Amino acid sequence: MKKLLMGVAALALVGCSQQTAQTGHEAGAKGTPTIAEAEAFIVDAEKQLTEMNEYGARIFWVNANFITDDTDWLATKAGADFTKLGVNLANSAKRFNDLDLPPELARKMKFLKIGLTLPAPSKEGAAEELSEISTWLGSTYAKGEIEMDGELVPRNDLEELMGTVRNPEILQEMWTKWREVSVPMGPKYQRLVEIGNEGAQELGFKDLGELWLSGYDMEPAEMAAEVDRLWGQVKPLYDQLHCYVRAGLSEEYGEDVQAADGPIRADLLGNMWAQNWGGIYPLVAPKGTGDVGYDVTELLKEKDYTPIKMAETGEAFFSSLGLDPLPDTFWSRSLFTKPRDRDVVCHASAWDLDGADDIRIKMCTKINADDFNTVHHELGHNYYQRAYKNQPVLFQSGAHDGFHEAIGDFIGLSITPQYLADIGLITQDMIPDASADTGLLLSQALDKISFLPFAYMMDNWRWQVFSGEIAPGDYNQGWWNLRTEYQGIVPPGGARPADAFDPGSKYHIPGNTPYLRYFLSFVMQFQFHKAACEMSGWEGPLHRCSIYGSDVVGEKFQKMLEMGQSQPWPDALEAFTGTREMDGSAIISYFEPLMGYLETQNQGQSCGWK
């Protein structure tokens, strides 16, 4: 479960005893505080968190892999127990606010205060109610099925179909039915926000949004401005991509389905949430140069790849950088395919069950290019988790949450034609020449650049929900206002019903996983890639660079990973890239040849939308 990657925030998902929580409260209630007492408090807190983290992680692993009423009950109880402990420790930590603490101790104290993604107030029954709602939302999402042609289709299969079906009527039907499952979530989500906000305010924050933005080694308002700056750097490229894709879809489907100007119909973009558009590449590929000569999905099938072999290939990439192989338990305890006999949470995720070496992935793996990339991404989490295992528990996370998501995707940028040749998926003579670069870059942009505004608006919506700027009765309309503003998309069939809760159709909303991390990771992965390619001595185009086999990169990479969140994130960034500021310019450098092509193709078009 991705929540287990949030460092202290993850610990909201693990269990403790009511007696333990009470002990933490009593320990913080005595006398005038001293530094010695603060040190003792942190030692005790870390002991409690370490002891209970594995217990809770195993409960949530079982719940995600065997969704039943009983495992839901266990997950609800574990979540409530730890929420109590987390709130208690955070409130107790406030006792030391006026002390001039040593830097490491102060950093640990801060993470205790901001660690809970979804804190409950300390009043009786609040933690239990919050955990019950959270578990219900997650299970409702995971168990959802959609009826198509008289048969129930799992949502995981329907998601794949969105990238291959080209009939706009069927696409609209699948898109709409997917969102029927999330309709009952609306009232529950409203209550979750009410309780979570009350918990955040008890900890001294204005609302949940301010709490979430406090984890970036800068003031929340400063961090929000930083996100705006980064979006401003890359928005011109997105605008050109949107204009180009809209024209291609209008040509494919006709103007009665997709107009040649204005927003794009969301269900036509090859993805259930229009968060990446790679599925429609065949419809918008550059004429004459769009065919790179191979299809990774078909190659994987021709070479008899299995889910295990895909994971082994991902491991081999990290091994080529000089990193140690995965432990035997990874292979015996991970979930690689969807079981036929039970409900599981199919959303791909990486797990650290013991804060040491019991690392795993959970995927309902399909043999296709998307999941080939996803395996590399999830293993990035696992290698990061193992690298910082020797840090104190309060520092066992990414330098900030965007780092964790960026690691695997940074590796994924090295899945170039040369890499595919190196691992035997294609032969050297199949590597396309420079004439195919426009197609290669467009394919990448349809996945990477299209994602940026989606990732930005996800938490922008939640920040406005948490602050009350978007009222409960306007949850869905507010969602679509932002999707149109940032992505330039609209729902098929016109305005959505008043009782719809379309945000709940995306896993991370009912799963209560902050999404800003993904936006930041998509910026940082290119920044990592550019620095790594320079480190390895690469001199060609950035999009052709693969760091596969570069132990020089691996050595520096491992040092950054081992830091965890023990230092402010600019220190970790500098350790690998030599710079202390997140920067979107590497994206512009990577896609520079494509930008020129898009601008040429868009001449005469009415780009933009209202």
pLDDT digits (tens, 9 = 90+) for 393-423: 999 999 999 999 899 899 999 999 999 999 9
Neighbours of 151 (CB within 10 A): 8
Alpha helices in 149-302 (DSSP H): 155-161, 168-178, 185-202, 208-212, 220-253, 281-284, 296-302
Is 48 a domain residue? yes
Per-position b or e across 19-57, b if 16+ CB within 10 A of its CB: ebbebbbebbeeeeeeeebbeebbebbbebbbebbbbbb
Our CA dihedral for 105, 110, 113, 116, rounded to 10 degrees, sits at -110
Q: Rounded to the nearest 5°, which phi and psi values hold at 322?
A: 100, 5
CB proximity list for 528: less than 8 A, separation 6 or greater: 406, 407, 410, 576, 577
Rounded Cα distance, 379 and 349, in Å: 9
How large is the average pLDDT for residues 327-349?
Answer: 93
Query: Is it the case that residue 597 has pLDDT exceeding 80?
Result: yes
pLDDT above 90: percentage of residues in the chain: 77
Query: Is it the case that residue 13 has pLDDT exceeding 60?
Result: no
- Mark whether 378 is an active-site residue: yes
CA neighbor of 406 nearest in space, from 563, 527, 521, 513: 521
Q: Three-state DSSP class for 394?
A: helix
pLDDT above 70: percentage of residues in the chain: 95
What pLDDT is attached to residue 142?
83
What pLDDT is attached to residue 84?
83
- Of 376, 381, 508, 529, which one is the catalytic site residue? 508
How large is the average pLDDT for residues 463-484?
Answer: 97
How large is the average pLDDT for residues 355-382?
Answer: 94
Number of domains in the chain: 1
Query: Is it the case that residue 2 has pLDDT exceeding 60?
Result: no
Query: Is it the case that residue 23 has pLDDT exceeding 80?
Result: no
Which comes out higher in pLDDT, residue 540 or 503? Answer: 503
Rounded Cα distance, 316 and 328, in Å: 14
How many residues are listed for the chain in this entry? 610
Query: Is it the case that residue 200 has pLDDT exceeding 90?
Result: yes
Q: Are 517 and 402 in contact (CB under 8 A)?
A: yes
Q: What is the DSSP string of 221-251?
A: HHHHHHHHHHHHHHHHHHHHHHHHHHHHHHH
Which residue is listed with tokens 């959505």? Answer: 496
What pLDDT is attached to residue 389?
96
What pLDDT is attached to residue 14?
28
CA angle 528, 530, 535 (to 5 degrees): 90
Q: Which domain holds residue 30?
A: 2-133
Q: Three-state DSSP class for 359?
A: strand
Is 529 a domain residue? no
- Of 378, 404, 405, 543, which one is the catalytic site residue? 378
Highest mean pLDDT among 109-118, 242-251, 427-436: 242-251
Is 29 a domain residue? yes
Q: Are 189 and 505 in contact (CB under 8 A)?
A: no
Task: Give the lowest-confidence range in 62-66, 106-110, 343-347, 438-442.
Answer: 343-347
Band of pLDDT at residue 86, cut at 50, 70 and 90: confident
Task: Give the lowest-confidence range in 142-151, 180-189, 468-477, 512-521.
Answer: 142-151
CA dihedral sign, ordered 111, 115, 119, 125: negative
Which comes out higher in pLDDT, residue 146 or 334? Answer: 334
Is 43 a domain residue? yes
What pLDDT is attached to residue 301?
96
Q: pLDDT digit string (tens) for 36-79?
A: 999 999 999 999 998 888 889 999 999 999 999 999 999 989 98
Query: Is it the case that residue 180 has pLDDT exceeding 60?
Result: yes
CB proximity list for 255: less than 8 A, separation 6 or greater: none
Band of pLDDT at residue 456, cut at 50, 70 and 90: very high
Rounded Cα distance, 522 and 449, in Å: 8
Band of pLDDT at residue 542, cut at 50, 70 and 90: very high
What pLDDT is attached to residue 370?
86
Q: pLDDT digit string (tens) for 210-256?
A: 999 999 999 999 999 999 999 999 999 999 999 999 999 999 999 99
Is 515 a domain residue? no
Q: How many CA atoms lie within 13 A of 354 on its CB side?
A: 7
Query: Is it the case that residue 8 has pLDDT exceeding 60?
Result: no
**Mean pLDDT of the residues in the chain:** 90
Band of pLDDT at residue 30, cut at 50, 70 and 90: low
Rounded Cα distance, 64 and 1, in Å: 8
How large is the average pLDDT for residues 463-490?
Answer: 97
Is 151 a domain residue? no
Q: Three-state DSSP class for 103?
A: helix
CA–CA distances in Å: residue 87 to residues 115, 122, 332, 401, 565: 9, 7, 36, 21, 21
Q: pLDDT digit string (tens) for 277-325?
A: 999 999 999 987 667 778 899 999 999 999 999 999 999 999 999 999 9
Q: What is the DSSP string of 34-73?
A: -HHHHHHHHHHHHHHHHHHHHHHHHHHHHHHHS--HHHHH
Band of pLDDT at residue 19, cut at 50, 70 and 90: very low
What pLDDT is attached to residue 51?
84
Q: Are 375 and 311 in contact (CB under 8 A)?
A: yes
What pLDDT is attached to residue 404?
92
CA angle 314, 318, 324 (to 5 degrees): 120
Q: pLDDT digit string (tens) for 163-174?
A: 999 999 999 999
CB proximity list for 305: less than 8 A, separation 6 or greater: 313, 367, 372
Residue type present at position 296: V
Is 190 a domain residue? no
Is 104 a domain residue? yes
Band of pLDDT at residue 22, cut at 50, 70 and 90: very low
Q: Which tokens go with 311?
A: 């994971």
- Mark whether 381 is an active-site residue: no
How large is the average pLDDT for residues 113-124?
Answer: 88
